[in-house]
Every structure is written in C-alpha cells, then in structure tokens.
Amino acid sequence: MSESSEIKKVVIPVAGLGTRFLPLSLVLPKEFFPLADKPIIQHLVQEVKQSGISHITFVVSPKQKILLNYFKKQPELEKLLRKRKKEKSLAELKEFEAFFEDMQFEFVTQKNPLGDGHAILQAAKNMGSDPFAVSFGDDVVHGETPALAQLINIFKTTGAPVVALKSMPRELVVDYGNVAVEKISNNLYKIRKIIEKPAPGQIQSNLVIVGKYVLTPEVTDYLKKAQSSEKGEIILGEVFEAMLGDGCPVYGVEIKGEWLECGDKLKWMKSFMYMALKSPEFGSTLKEYLKTIK
C-alpha cells in the first residue's frame, strides 16, 4: 500500500504505431484524430486538468513532432489573426491557450513499441516514489465526473493500484482484458484475476479493463522485474497478475460515463459521431443533417 494518497502526475502513452489506422496514420499520429472539433489528445489533457492535476508526462515515439508543439503558444498566429481582424478565431485561440497555460508537460521517448507496461516504465523515473495516474490514448470517457477523478477518489481510500472497468456484453468480452472480481460496493471491486482477450470458456465476468489507472511505486518495481512476453513486450496486465499472485491488492472501479474507444477505425468513427452529436455548437445541426441521408 502506498504511503501517499495524493496524485500529482499523469502519464499519457502515445508512442504506438497506429497500424490499425493506415494509411491515415502515415501522416497524422492517432492521438490527433478528431473527436468532434478537438483531437483525442486534447480530450485526454482536459480530463487530467478537470481531475485537478497539472503535470503530464507524455510517452512518445522518436518521430513524433506535432505533440511537442501543439500546446505551445502561437504568438505569430495571434499577431496574424489580429492583423486580419479575425476576432472569433483569435478568441478561440486565446481560450485554448488559457486553458493549458498552467499545465506542465514533459516528454519521454519509447524507442520501440514494446508493450503498455514498457511505455509506463519509460516515464517511471519522472514519477519518483509517488503514485501516479495513467491514461492511454485509445480511451476517452465522456461524462460529468472525469474518469481519472473517479479512480483517484477510490485510491484515497485504498492506497493500492486502481483499474478502470466497464461492463460489456458477454460476446464482446473476448476482445478485451477481462477480470474476475470480488464485489465490495456498488461500483468497487477487488480484482482476483486478469485474463487478456479470454476465450469464451475463460470469461470471468462482464467487466473489462479501460485504459486508465492509478499506479503505485510497487507497480513500477514489478514492471522493472517483468519478463518480456513471446512478442518481446512488457504487459501491464501480466504485471498485475504477478502482483495478485504475491498477495498485493489491486482494485477495480466501474467508472461512470460514456466510454469512447479509439483503438481502430470503426470504434473511432463511432466515438467521433457520438462527440459530434453531443456538441453544443454542432450537435443539433448534425442531427438534422443525418435525417437527410438515405
């Protein structure tokens, strides 16, 4: 159990190759694909800020350049917009910059995509001996209370690793990380076992893992000792399994909110449509437009 219950930092791994999005990902990193009128990465960073955290460590690939510049101020563009009297665009730019001006960003490089656990390990040195949150780029949760804030609230009580969970139809569970659990309260569980992409006969429950976590220094220690899989990857789920085998507690929270998956083209398109139709600015017009499509 961690000595500190305060979460001050978040790791966002975005070093994947994006092969499921070819040829789109040849020119644009997946984290910059839009959900309505904002890229995925902006939704993730907004969630971090709305969870009361201002420090983010991004895990990036060596070739990623756009992310390094996205959250920087743009004085030349601002000057040009003023000169051309583009007041609406200038206001939008200033609002965007103001939202992130108190955020602190760091970048670490994952030279090769060697698993989700390996990505987290690249950022571990920046976490020190403190617990930290993790938010993967494939998973956006839209709701009143940020998903990370829900996990952090539980961590304050448990002091142990917390995993975000969602209930899925049983026939879809085979595509996700599945958990066997002991129910503690309405949406809180003690995790007993984790099975990655279980065969139908291996399904433990309807609960699957969402790519959001609160991790402790103990998890980092296990990651450092972890053996690579047959594919040469360090897998976070396997590290949790090792911890469970040693009697270390791991908790799961069935989070509230709409889980918007962005792991492949179809899931991303569904998530885009959801956010576009929910947009206060564009939603009603788009709904009317959809009625005209035959």
List of residues 6+ apart from 1 with CB closer than 8 A: 158, 159, 160, 216, 249
Percent of the chain with pLDDT strictly greater than 90? 78
Q: What is the residue whose two structure tokens read 């000595």?
A: 3
User: What single letter denotes the amino acid at residue 207?
Assistant: L
**CATH code at 40?**
3.90.550.10
The predicted model scores a pTM of 0.92
How many structural domains compose the chain? 1
3 occurs within a structural domain: no
Q: How confident is the model at residue 1 (pLDDT cuts 50, 70, 90)?
A: very low
- Residue 285 lies in domain: 9-290
Are the beta carbons of 115 and 237 closer than 8 angstroms? no
pLDDT (mean) for 175-183: 95
Q: Name which of 223, 277, 210 is nearest 44 in CA terms.
A: 210
- The answer to whether residue 47 sits within a structural domain is yes
Asked if residue 252 is part of any domain, the answer here is yes
pLDDT of residue 4: 55
Structure confidence by residue, pLDDT tens digits, 48-71? 999 999 999 999 988 777 888 888
1 domain residue, yes or no: no
Q: Is residue 56 part of a domain?
A: yes
Section 70-96 average pLDDT: 90
Q: Which pair of structure tokens corresponds to residue 96?
A: 């965007």
**Does the residue 59 lie in any domain?**
yes
**Three-state secondary-structure class, residue 56:** strand
Average pLDDT, the chain: 92
**Residues 116-154 pLDDT 10s:** 999 999 998 889 889 999 999 999 999 999 999 999 999
